Structure 1
Amino acid sequence: MLEFRQVHRAYATPQGPLEVLAGVDLTLAPGESLALMGESGSGKSTLLHLAAGLDLPDAGEVRLGGRMISSLSEPERARLRREAVGLVFQQFHLVPSLSVHDNLRLQARLAGVEDPDWSAELIRRLGLAGLERRYPEQLSGGQQQRLAIGRALAPRPALLLADEPTGNLDEASAGEVLELLLGLVRQAGCTLLMVTHSPQVAAPLDRCLLLSRGRLAPREAAEADA
């Protein structure tokens, strides 16, 4: 589903180029869930942006569903994101002028795959039944995050990319949202790549990798070498 082959990415700084990804190799199989951990500034979000085609590597290949992202034009990458990728961030990025119902449907409508039955199932599973006419500002933080997750999953994407999806929530809400997210991911049949700083959040996923010094390794092995 997702493959990185010797991917490099650097950014210009006053002190010179800063390489955050130094030959990253990664293979994520269909239906697999992977937690990505690492210190702040280690390049986790950069890796997620490359997976979504929001950024391009300096060298190496990123393939999504067998397609090399860097060979696509920006309109083609945008279309691939709409049709195959769901994005969930700490900042909910909900449309304030749209109701809960319309925010949930937005991504599926853009992808041209709206499924009213699946949308109704999401509303029920997300605990948002009866709130469909409310606007984001009328929801709690936990409700907004659940809505953001539902919007990302509404088109049943092949790949869900989540960047600290529970980072702005208290411990109890974070646990509920994580359980809900993983259950819906399994039901939708999509692959999950999640950035997190929390070992507790990473624990239920199939695998956990640590990004350190520009490279990926199983978290336990990387920490033992540190």
Structure 2
Amino acid sequence: MLEFDQVHKTYATPQGPIRVLKDVTLRLAPGQSLALMGESGSGKSTLLHLAAGLDLPDQGTITLAGEGLAALAEPARAKLRREQLGLVFQQFHLVPSLTVIDNLRLQARLARRDDTAWTAHLLERLGLHGLEKRYPEQLSGGQQQRLAIGRALAPRPALLLADEPTGNLDETTASHVLELLLSLVHETQCALLVVTHSPQVAAPLDRCLRLSHGSLLDATP
């Protein structure tokens, strides 16, 4: 579903070029989950941006759902993101002027995959049934993150990218949200890539890789 093959990424700075990723190779199959850990500045965000086609590597190839990202123009990459990717962030990025149900259906509508039965199922699984007409500000932090997860999964993406998805939640709420996330990912059989600082978040995933000075190390016990 997602392949990095000998990927390098360097950024130009006034102090000279900075190599952020060095010879990164990874494979993520449908239904698999992968945690990516590392210190701040290790290249985690860069790798996530590359996986989403928001940036392109200097060397190497990245393939998403069978498509080589470098071979696609930006409109085609945007279409691929819309149809194949779900994104979950530490900051919930819900639309404050939209109700719960409209936030939930937003991504599915953009992907032209709005499914009434699946939406109703998600509302139940997310614990948001009966809250459809509320606005994000009327929800707790845990409810907002559950809604953000549901929005990302509403179009049934092939790959879900999650950037510190429980970083703004207390420990108990984070545990419940993570359990729900993994359960829904298993149900949809999408691939999952999670960037996290938390060993507790990484532990239940299939594999864990660590970025160190731009290189990937296998951190799975």
Question: Partner of 2:131 in structure 1?
Answer: 131
What is the total number of aligned residue pairs between the two structures?
221
Shift of 1:219: 1.6
Partner of 1:78: 78
- Report the AA paired with residue 87 of structure 1: L
In 1, the alpha carbon distance for the partners of 2:92 and 2:200 equals: 22
Deviation at 1:209, TM superposition (A): 0.4
Distance 1:2 1:180 in 2: 23
Q: Give the CA deviation at 1:158.
A: 0.3
Question: Is the partner of 1:9 in helix, strand or coil?
Answer: strand
Secondary structure of 2:47 counterpart: helix
What displacement does 1:12 show?
2.1
The Cα shift of 1:70 comes to 1.0
Q: Partners of 1:10 and 1:131 in 2: how far apart?
A: 46
The TM-score normalised by the length of structure 1 is 0.96
Cα contact 2:207–2:220 (8 A) shared by 1: no
Inter-partner Cα distance in structure 1 for 2:102 and 2:201 = 29
Q: Which residue of 1 aligns with 2:111?
A: 111
Q: TM-score, normalised by structure 2?
A: 0.98
Take 2:56 and 2:93, find their aligned partners in 1: how far apart are those partners?
A: 23
Q: Secondary structure at the match of 1:144?
A: helix
| Alignment partners' CA distance in 2, 1:162 and 1:220 | 19
Q: Which residue of 2 aligns with 1:147?
A: 147
Say if 2:89 is the partner of 1:89: yes
1:220 shift after superposition: 5.8
Please give the secondary structure, in 2, of the residue aligned with 1:208: strand
2:204 counterpart residue number: 204
Distance 1:220 1:111, change over 3 A: closer
Show structure 1 runs of 5+ residues with no match: 222-226
Match of 1:224 in 2: none
Could you tell me how far 1:66 is from its partner in structure 2?
1.5
SS in 2 for 1:70: helix
Distance 1:138 1:73 in 2: 40
Dislocated runs of 4+, deviation >3 Å: none
Shift of 1:14: 2.7
| SS of residue matched to 1:185 | helix
RMSD: 1.0
